[in-house]
Structure 1
Amino acid sequence: MAVVEQKSVRETVVSTWINEVVPSLSGLVAIPALSPAFDADWAASGHLAAAVEHVKTFIAGRDLPGVSIEVVQLEGRSPVLFVDVPATAGATGKPTVLMYGHLDKQPPVGGWSEGLDPWTPVIRDGRLYGRGSVDDGYSGYAAVSALEAVRAAGGEHAHTVVLLETGEESGSPDLPAYVEHLSARLGEVGLVVCLDAGGMDYERLWLTTSLRGMLHLTVTVQLLATAQHSGLASGVVASSFRVLRQLLERIESGETGEIKLAELNVEVPASRLAEIEAVAEVAPEKLQTAFPLVSGGRTMSEDALELLLNNYWRPTLSIIGADGFPLPANAGNVLRESTTLTLSFRLPPTAEAGPALAAVKRVLTTDVPYGASVTIHEDAQAENGWNAPEEAPWLSAALRRVSDEVFGRPHRAAGMGGSIPFMGLLGEKYPQAQFLVTGACGADSNIHVPDEWLNLDYAQQVTEAVAHILDAHARS
């Protein structure tokens, strides 16, 4: 079967990125388009709308015959940019390709290095620094550049829709409504390309084949009606913190971090275990050195396979918020009346989030020590993870080709410890579709934290790989 010519694809991608993408993407970095969860006045501030309009203007200037570009905004919801590109002549009738990314950003946070700033794009040593550069502002640019490259090389692509949302960093609460609203225009989706991921290094193509689910809940334990002098009440009345600590021990081993509830644990599929073992061989020390530990600090294990399994397929608990505590400088000898903690669980990709949340609530509220009052706040969330379907032969062949010709080494597939809610939604809605979840994010790209950066050369390679896969899908 014929395939699109590689040299032409590469030349088009490189030229487009250097001359067109980088200048426009730099302009996008400068827009403080905080996700709605971090900017309650997002509609009034207009930053999300500005980001959408900025990318819309870029796409309108591309060589994509027949393209339709529309800002879609349902009442009370953050906008999406909907780009509809007709199929090339040889690929009419093929299922739709849905390419996904997002334009909203995490908060800037402090601590950026000298000369860097979240809203000031800086190019240094082949990296574009700034908030939203790699997570995930480049994705729309990569998507349309890949389509252009296919056409310039005389290749084929199916009817393709690029969907760029503005609420991903808030958990994509509006996306199900948009997918339903646009379903007739999407048609039958045969390939989903998500560019909101990455891998362990910048030397090969990395595929994400599973994503963890999530539970998020806030719990308050109260034993006293009002706070009391600790010298008078301690030893008579238990502290609310100790009661909550006992309850949490029912869920998580304080010694090992193991989650004890069966509803939150699954057996790792054999195919995924084989993938993880291959990753452990390629990057045996990556997770041990990926995070800025204090001097003398150690990871939970020195075994690469154990760390990867912990991050991809085992449940974890993180305490991400607290209330009821005074600042240390204001702390008196007081037995506080209540303790509130916000619990964030990461679930295995195939765990059912609903039963998992019910199990957590049950153990927190049953047989509570000392008859303390336990309140589970109403904003609890439960999101399923995602496990990719079995790879189709055409996709396997295309991946082998781009691994050899674009990167010069075999690709690797692995899980991701985080979540992309859209993937679970699409997996349910389009069960026959193939999924290519990849991207330019590396383990050291600093997403969500200071000094976020995009590896420009690697982003070009990812774009080139996507172009070849679009052509392979059209010819399958």
Structure 2
Amino acid sequence: MDERLVRETVRDVWAREALAGLSEFVTIPALSPAFDADWARTGHLHAAVEHTRAYLSARPIEGATVEVVELPGRTPLLLLDVPARDATNVETVVVYGHLDKQPAAGAWSPGLGPWTPVVKDERLYGRGAGDDGYAAYAAATALEALHAAGGGHARTVVLLETGEESGSPDLAAYLEHLSDRLGTVGLVICLDTSGADYERLWLATSLRGIAFLDLSVRVLDSGVHSGHASGLVASSFRVLRELLDRIEDPRTGRAKLPELEVEVPRDRLAEIGVAAAEGFLAPQLPIAEGVAFAEDDPVELVLANTWRTTLSVTGADGLPPILDAGNVLRPYTSLKLSFRLPPTVDSTVALRAIEKALTTDVPYGARVEIARAEAADGWNATPRAPWLESTLDEVGEDVFGRPWRALGLGGTIPFLGLFGRAYPDAQFVVTGPRGPGNNAHVPDEWLHLDQTARVTEAVARILHAHASA
């Protein structure tokens, strides 16, 4: 394979055609079903699929077929299926991306808008540019570059769903529906994550799971003057605080329930150690003046964000605004609790343990109610095969001029758990061009164009190496 021609083709296609196609994709307000319950009628998801289908169908990729798959009552799926080329590897490669988007999420900066593509300072601004519309164009461009440069690849299926921003509720059904057709999947390339800078290739190697619920504690049928009732009846807030202390140490934030903790794998600890030595640990955060991080040790800081359970109170009810609050013993307090769980924790078991801790032997017999409890598993990558390790080393040196790096992510992406369970023996390359400040879910979302071209080139090199693995 002519590696120089791979790079030239990637750069040329992105400059001439892929950027234009992605810019038009930005104009489509293809909100995920969680934000557009009437998506089937509004038609924006279908418009995004049709636009991308037309672009992929026009690409000069020999033997490629493009198909829209839509199971009854589910969001559509788009497939680009490319037969093997000069490959001895008979496995299937799945390249993942998604076409649904987050809403505008507030006011954008002057001259920018969620559905108005703007190229400025080597960035493409607009909703869905980086999360995750670019994936379809990067995957197709990588395949074009391989063909132009005489490279090979195993059978490659680019799978583009339209429900990721809603938690991928339809993906499991599609993976089952397509299981015979996809065959033995040996490599999954996910183009929907971010890294710690724009200088090198970053791989995500783990994601935390999640459990969340609404917790209500009631002590009265109606509010009472605090002078009449306080001391006679415990406040609902105090009861709730005691219940939470059963789960979380209020001083350290560490989980107290064994179902919420795991032993961190050696390879993940090694990755964290390398990142700690190079200073790639904490993302850029708008920390208030004078506030310190929760941990002093840099390794412990990363572990707390990627391999330990954390509790966040993300909402409350029963608490009036401060200006409206009188001297009243309130009847109840409700909190929305969000637990980020270690990647290998069984989220269902963890949720049951949390519910049991919150509802057993409640102080003073206060009435506890739990609603909208849900959980999703995390994901931990399989050990990297020697061929992949060596290819990543070459890509880091040749494409980026810096060694590649890997880190766990503190968030939850349900589709990776689905892929992990569906293809437990597959190699995973979970990467993307997003990085610090890219604003994926908030105003002024943008895509780093130069990093996107490098990631596209890296994907082409990985596909070529896999062809003979």
Give TM-score, length-normalised by structure 1: 0.95
Q: Which moved more, 1:252-261 or 1:267-276?
A: 252-261
Specify which of 61, 81, 89 is matched with residue 64 of structure 1: 61
Deviation (angstroms), 1:345: 0.9
Q: Which residue of 1 aligns with 2:141?
A: 145
**Equivalents in 2 of 1:448, 1:262: separation in Å?**
33
For residues 154-197 of structure 1, the C-alpha deviation after alignment (integer angstroms, 9 at most, x for no partner) is: 11111111111111111111110010011111111010000111
Specify which of 294, 315, 323 is matched with residue 309 of structure 2: 315
Q: Which residue of 2 aligns with 1:273?
A: 269
Q: Which residue of 2 aligns with 1:404?
A: 397
Report if aligned partners of 1:204, 1:410 keep a CA contact under 8 Å in 2. yes
Q: Which residue of 2 aligns with 1:299?
A: 293
**Equivalents in 2 of 1:80, 1:327: separation in Å?**
45
Q: Which residue of 1 aligns with 2:23?
A: 26
Deviation (angstroms), 1:111: 4.2
**Equivalents in 2 of 1:465, 1:424: separation in Å?**
24
Root mean square deviation of aligned Cα? 1.6
Report if aligned partners of 2:378, 2:412 keep a CA contact under 8 Å in 1. yes
Three-state SS of the structure 1 residue aligned to 2:248 is coil
1:371 is the counterpart of 2:365: yes
For residues 114-169 of structure 1, the C-alpha deviation after alignment (integer angstroms, 9 at most, x for no partner) is: 32222222222111122222111111111111111111101111111111111111
**Equivalents in 1 of 2:71, 2:328: separation in Å?**
50
Q: Which residue of 2 aligns with 1:85?
A: 82
For residues 53-89 of structure 1, the C-alpha deviation after alignment (integer angstroms, 9 at most, x for no partner) is: 111111111111222212212122111112211111x
For residues 373-403 of structure 1, the C-alpha deviation after alignment (integer angstroms, 9 at most, x for no partner) is: 11111x3212111111111111112111111
| Unmatched tracts of structure 1, length 5 or more | none
Q: Which residue of 1 aligns with 2:381?
A: 388
Three-state SS of the structure 2 residue aligned to 1:294 is coil
Change (3 A) 1:333 1:47: farther
Report if aligned partners of 1:146, 1:466 keep a CA contact under 8 Å in 2. yes
Q: Which residue of 2 aligns with 1:120?
A: 116
Q: Which residue of 1 aligns with 2:355?
A: 361
Specify which of 212, 215, 218 is matched with residue 216 of structure 1: 212
Report if aligned partners of 1:223, 1:239 keep a CA contact under 8 Å in 2. yes
**Equivalents in 2 of 1:71, 1:332: separation in Å?**
58
1:9 is the counterpart of 2:31: no
1:178-217 matched pairs, under 5 angstroms: 178-217=174-213
Report if aligned partners of 2:89, 2:468 keep a CA contact under 8 Å in 1. no
The one-letter amino acid paired with 2:203 is L
Change (3 A) 1:111 1:295: farther
Identity of aligned residues (%): 60
Q: Which residue of 1 aligns with 2:435?
A: 442
Report if aligned partners of 2:305, 2:410 keep a CA contact under 8 Å in 1. yes
Three-state SS of the structure 2 residue aligned to 1:37 is coil
Deviation (angstroms), 1:473: 0.4
The one-letter amino acid paired with 1:405 is D
Deviation (angstroms), 1:450: 2.2
1:229-308 matched pairs, under 5 angstroms: 229-284=225-280, 287=282, 290-308=284-302
> How many corresponding residue pairs?
469
Three-state SS of the structure 2 residue aligned to 1:441 is coil
Change (3 A) 1:130 1:231: farther
1:464 is the counterpart of 2:457: yes
The one-letter amino acid paired with 2:133 is G
Report if aligned partners of 1:200, 1:283 keep a CA contact under 8 Å in 2. no
For residues 360-384 of structure 1, the C-alpha deviation after alignment (integer angstroms, 9 at most, x for no partner) is: 001100111110111111x321211
Q: Which residue of 2 aligns with 1:473?
A: 466
**Equivalents in 2 of 1:113, 1:300: separation in Å?**
32
Three-state SS of the structure 1 residue aligned to 2:158 is strand
Three-state SS of the structure 2 residue aligned to 1:320 is strand
The one-letter amino acid paired with 1:182 is L
**Equivalents in 2 of 1:210, 1:254: separation in Å?**
26
Give TM-score, length-normalised by structure 2: 0.96
The one-letter amino acid paired with 1:279 is A
**Equivalents in 1 of 2:334, 2:116: separation in Å?**
38
Deviation (angstroms), 1:329: 4.2
Q: Which residue of 2 aligns with 1:166?
A: 162
Three-state SS of the structure 2 residue aligned to 1:450 is coil
Three-state SS of the structure 2 residue aligned to 1:39 is coil
For residues 254-299 of structure 1, the C-alpha deviation after alignment (integer angstroms, 9 at most, x for no partner) is: 2222121111111111111010111112225x51x60112233332
Deviation (angstroms), 1:202: 0.9
**Equivalents in 1 of 2:95, 2:84: separation in Å?**
14
Q: Which residue of 2 aligns with 1:345?
A: 339
Which segments of structure 1 move beyond 4 Å, counting only runs of 4 or more? Answer: none
Deviation (angstroms), 1:93: 5.8
**Equivalents in 1 of 2:236, 2:101: separation in Å?**
37
**Equivalents in 1 of 2:17, 2:5: separation in Å?**
17
For residues 286-315 of structure 1, the C-alpha deviation after alignment (integer angstroms, 9 at most, x for no partner) is: 51x601122333322343322211111111
Change (3 A) 1:328 1:119: farther
Report if aligned partners of 2:95, 2:139 keep a CA contact under 8 Å in 1. yes
Three-state SS of the structure 2 residue aligned to 1:380 is strand
**Equivalents in 2 of 1:93, 1:465: separation in Å?**
19
**Equivalents in 2 of 1:252, 1:449: separation in Å?**
30
**Equivalents in 1 of 2:328, 2:35: separation in Å?**
34
Q: Which residue of 2 aligns with 1:430?
A: 423
Deviation (angstroms), 1:215: 0.7
Q: Which moved more, 1:361-370 or 1:315-324?
A: 315-324
Three-state SS of the structure 1 residue aligned to 2:34 is helix
Report if aligned partners of 1:92, 1:159 keep a CA contact under 8 Å in 2. no
**Equivalents in 1 of 2:107, 2:31: separation in Å?**
18
The one-letter amino acid paired with 1:67 is A
